Amino acid sequence: MKVVETSTFERMERMYAPQQRIYDLTRAWYLLGRDRLLDGIAARPGETLVDVGCGTGRNLDRVARLYPRTRLCGIDPSRAMLKTAGRRLVLEDVRLLHGVAEDLPVMLAHGAITPPDHILFSYSLSIMPDPLGAIEAALGVLPAGGWLHVVDFGPMDRLPRWFAAGMGSWLERFDVRHRPQVAERLAALPQTSLVRPFGGYCELIHLRNRG
Ligand SMILES: C[S@@+](CC[C@H](N)C(=O)[O-])C[C@H]1O[C@@H](n2cnc3c(N)ncnc32)[C@H](O)[C@@H]1O
C-alpha cells in the first residue's frame, strides 16, 4: 500500500482557502479568549511580535491598534489566509511570511525574522500535529526577557459534560483538539501564568523567558 503524506502547507490550504469569506465571522463565536490574551501582552513601541499561525491577521490588526509602533510579523502555511491578512493589514507595518512554526529557527538563521520580543500562538497549536515541536522551536528563538503568549482550547473540565463531548467531537472533524502537553510543558518553566476561563473552555498562557 502506498502511503501518501500530505504536507501542512497542502492541508492548511485545502482547509482554509474555501473559507476566506466566512472565516472571521464564524470563528468570532468560538475562538474565545483571544482579546483577553492580546490585552495582556503589553508590548512596547519598537518591540517585535511574531504571530505564528496568524490566519487572516485578525489578531495582528488588534495588536497594531493596542500597541502602536510595534514591529509585527505573521507566519502561516496557508497562502489564502496570508492573502486575506495582507488585504486587512494594508495600512499597518506588518511582514507576512509563508511558513510553519517548526521553521522558526531556520527563519531566524536566514534573517527572515529578527529575535522577537513576543511570540503569539492563537488557536494554532491545537491544529498542529506536533505542538510541542512548535513550542520548542519558539522557545529556541526567544531571547532572554522575551515573552511567549498562547491562547487555545482548554480541557473544558468545568463545563457540562455533554457540551465538552460535543465540542470535542466537532473539533476532531477538523483535526483540532485540546493539547494538554502544551500547558504541562510551559507550566514547568518559571514565570509562567496560566488561566482557564469560561469553565476551562480555553487556556491563556503568558511566559517570560528567563534565558
Ligand atoms: C484556527 S486558525 C487560527 C488563526 C488565527 N491565529 C486566529 O486566532 O484567528 C489556525 C491557523 O494555524 C495555521 N497553522 C496550521 N499549522 C501550522 C504550523 N505548523 N505552523 C504555523 N501555523 C500553522 C493555519 O494555517 C491557520 O491559519
Q: What is the pLDDT of residue 211?
A: 76
Q: Is the pLDDT of residue 2 over 70?
A: no
Give pLDDT, residue 54: 98
pLDDT value of residue 5: 61
Q: What are the residue ranges of helices labelled H in 123-194?
A: 131-141, 161-172, 180-187
Across 80-107, average pLDDT: 94
Among the atoms of ligand 1, which is closest to the Cα of residue 121? 6
φ and ψ of 207, to 5 deg: -135, 130
| pLDDT at position 4 | 55
Which of 24-33, 137-146, 196-205 is predicted least confidently?
24-33
Q: Please give the distance, rounded to the nearest whole angstrom, from the Cα atom of residue 147 to the centre of ligand 1.
A: 19
pLDDT in tens, 31-58: 999 999 999 999 999 999 999 999 999 9
| Average pLDDT for 104-108 | 97
| Angle between helices 131-141 and 180-187 in degrees, nearest 10 | 30
C-alpha cell at 18: 474555501
pLDDT, tens only, 159-178: 999 999 999 999 999 999 99
> What's the pLDDT at 180?
97
Give all domains of the chain, ordered by start, each with its CATH number.
8-208 (3.40.50.150)
Predicted pLDDT at 101 = 98
Pocket of ligand 1 (CB under 6 A): 8, 12, 16, 27, 31, 34, 52-55, 58-59, 75-78, 81, 100-101, 122-124, 127-128
On average, the pLDDT of the chain sits at 94
Minimum-distance ligand 1 atom for the alpha carbon of 53: 22
Cβ proximity of 206 and 148 under 8 Å: yes
Residue 170 Cα to ligand 1 midpoint, Å, equals 18
Pair 49, 118: CB distance under 8 Å? yes
Task: Write the CA distances from 149 to 7, 166, 202, integer angstroms.
Answer: 26, 28, 13
Rounded mean pLDDT, 101-115: 97
The answer for residues whose C-beta is within 8 angstroms of residue 93's C-beta and 6 or more apart is 64, 71, 72
